[in-house]
Amino acid sequence: MADADPRRAAEVARAVDARCVESPEALFEAGIDAVVIAATTSAHAALLHMAADRHIPAFCEKPIALDVATTDAVIDHVERAGILVQIGFQRRFDAGYRAAREAVQSGALGDVHIVRLATHDPTPPSEEYLAASGGIWRDLAIHDFDIAPWVVGRPVVEVYSDGQANAGLFAKHEDVDAACAVMRFEGGVLGIVSATRNDPRGYDVRMEVFGLRDSIAVGWNARTPLRSIEPGVAAPHEPGYRDFMDRFEPAYRAELQGFLAAVRDGGESACTVFEARRALVVALAADRSRREHRPVRIEEFR
């Protein structure tokens, strides 16, 4: 393994019985079979180019990059190299979201007419992280922009969004810490996304799918960071999720196992570079919509 922080790399290497090298270049030259890229977002593209140059299958955390041009350059290189790349949208491996996708595909819900999604962080990120994150749409809500089309089975064609900077730190970086978006999917299905950087009850990630036969929810259990104030309804008896790892640890493990299986067996990517690009474009459309106060068609980015 290699990391910009040698001390941290050494600590992790000892914990998992791995060997450290001094640079990413040395890592690729060490005879590896595949690579997991979990560096900061700004490093993803360069590392994927290295993997493509050496024909090494790669798992890369989302997003590929924060802009379309850099993303497209990576996609072109990966396609020419013919390597397997899986992008880390771990919700695709969460049992609840997978069950929701199956329910939609089976027709059990009937025609879907509305989906509602929430991603609420428990506490704001550091200013250092915030400054390089790409903003709430590309950093946080991009997961919703990936999972909603995956579950519904339809691409997003238009976005209308707005947001509010309740803390001065976000306004300083032309970002917001509370935001909402309305998505229109191909065929007329509507989606509603809420995204916040501060939830006092914990890490809240949910999806609701409303069909003409049935309605279902993902992320609704004893640890959902929400309480009812209806008379006679007991308060949650378990603590809310602390963070994304607490909420999605099984999904993170499953996506890496899926990547390794695809490398070993010559299987297909569970989340391709093209699907990652689609999620990025929806996030960019949401950002443009908030800044320009208008609905934005996805085709504006083609």
Mean predicted lDDT score pLDDT of the chain: 96
Note down the domain range covering 101.
Answer: 91-246+278-301
Residues 157 and 268 in one domain: no
Average pLDDT over residues 256-276: 98
Write down the pLDDT at residue 56.
97
Question: Residue 302: is its pLDDT beyond 90?
Answer: no
186 falls within a domain: yes
Residues 107 and 183 in one domain: yes
Residues 181 and 232 in one domain: yes
Question: Residue 131: is its pLDDT beyond 90?
Answer: yes
136 falls within a domain: yes
Give the integer Cα–Cα distance in Å for 128 and 112: 41
Write down the pLDDT at residue 261.
98
Average pLDDT over residues 257-279: 98
For 49-72, write each residue's pLDDT tens digit.
999 999 999 999 999 999 999 999
Residues 64 and 178 in one domain: no
Write down the pLDDT at residue 235.
87
How would residue 48 be classed by pLDDT, with cut points 50, 70 and 90?
very high
101 falls within a domain: yes
39 falls within a domain: yes
Which residue is it, tokens 């569970």?
Answer: 270
Residues 193 and 241 in one domain: yes
207 falls within a domain: yes
Residues 60 and 169 in one domain: no
Residues 84 and 154 in one domain: no
Write down the pLDDT at residue 201.
95
Average pLDDT over residues 193-198: 98
Average pLDDT over residues 244-264: 98
172 falls within a domain: yes
261 falls within a domain: yes
Residues 99 and 86 in one domain: no
Give the integer Cα–Cα distance in Å for 225 and 239: 8
For 197-247, write each residue's pLDDT tens digit.
999 999 999 999 999 999 999 999 999 999 999 999 998 889 999 999 999
Residues 195 and 106 in one domain: yes
How would residue 126 be classed by pLDDT, with cut points 50, 70 and 90?
very high
Write down the pLDDT at residue 95.
98
Are residues 185 and 209 in contact, defined by beta-carbon separation less than 8 angstroms?
A: no
Average pLDDT over residues 279-290: 98
CATH at 22: 3.40.50.720
Residues 60 and 73 in one domain: yes
Are residues 152 and 115 in contact, defined by beta-carbon separation less than 8 angstroms?
A: yes
1 falls within a domain: no
CATH at 128: 3.30.360.10
Residues 26 and 153 in one domain: no
What's the total number of domains in the chain? 2
Residues 215 and 232 in one domain: yes
For 78-116, write each residue's pLDDT tens digit.
999 999 999 999 999 999 999 999 999 999 999 999 999
